[in-house]
Amino acid sequence: MARTSWLEERLSRQVEGPPVKRYRGTGAASLEEEQTLVGVIDAPEDQREVLASYGIDMDLAAFSREAERWVGCLFSEEVASLLEDLYATGEIPFLFEAAPSLGEVEWLERQAEGERVRPVLELRAYRTPAPAERLAKLAEGVVRGKSS
């Protein structure tokens, strides 16, 4: 009988939204951001802590030795924007790609249909990139909705 890995067990949990990362603010205040993007980072395996220090949620990430990159990294929109700026100025040497997660696209599609409560999904949906065709269809609907 095959043993389920810790990550596989965690990814199969039912959740009511994307993971939320808490960042320490000034004083006693803290900031919470939904991790709605998922991506990959071209960084060595020993850079996990460095990547986390940039605000990347590495809790569900795994290093792919075959691709020599981190996969399943979660980002908030704000962190992804900051990383783009840091990479453009050379302040961070790691190339990354991030896109909306399947779970986030599912939510956006349901919102477009009038739903107001996030669906309960497996955590896996927030670690899986949304297919390009669903992103395109969603973008098309957003553009059409704005022009109507």
Residue 35 lies in a domain: yes
6-18 residue pLDDT tens:
888 999 999 999 9
Give the separation between CA 64 and CA 68, rounded to whole angstroms: 5
Question: One-letter amino acid identity for 132?
Answer: A
- Amino acid sitting at position 102: L
Confidence of residue 31 (pLDDT cuts 50, 70, 90): confident
> 23: pLDDT confidence band, cut at 50, 70 and 90?
confident
pLDDT in tens, 36-76: 999 999 999 999 999 999 999 999 999 999 999 999 999 99
Domains of the chain: total: 1
Instruction: Please indicate, yes or no, if residue 113 is contained in any of the structural domains.
Output: yes
Q: Which pLDDT value is given to residue 130? A: 96
The pLDDT value given to residue 6 = 84
Mean pLDDT (whole number) for 82-109: 96
Helix axes 132-147, 102-112, angle to 10 degrees: 30
Average pLDDT, whole number, for the chain? 90
Reduced 3-state DSSP string for the chain? CCCCCHHHHHHCCEECCCCEEEEECCCCCEEEEECCEEEEECCCHHHHHHHHHCCCECCCCEEECCCCEEEEEEECHHHHHHHHHHHHCCCCCCCEEEEEEHHHHHHHHHHHCCCCCCCCEEHHHHCCECCHHHHHHHHHHHHHHHHC
User: Does residue 50 lie in a domain region?
Assistant: yes
Residue 48 belongs to a domain: yes
Give a yes or no: residue 1 inside a domain: no
Q: Is 3 within the bounds of a domain? A: no
Six-digit token string for 86:
């840091």
User: For residue 115, which phi and psi values (nearest 5 degrees)?
Assistant: -75, 150
Name the band, by pLDDT with cuts 50, 70 and 90, for residue 146.
Answer: very low
Per-residue pLDDT for 143 more than 60? no
Q: Look at 112 and 148; give whichever has higher pLDDT.
A: 112
Whether residue 62 is contained in a domain is answered as: yes
pLDDT: is 147 or 103 the higher one? Answer: 103
Domain that holds residue 123: 13-143
pLDDT of residue 147: 40
* Structural domain includes residue 5: no
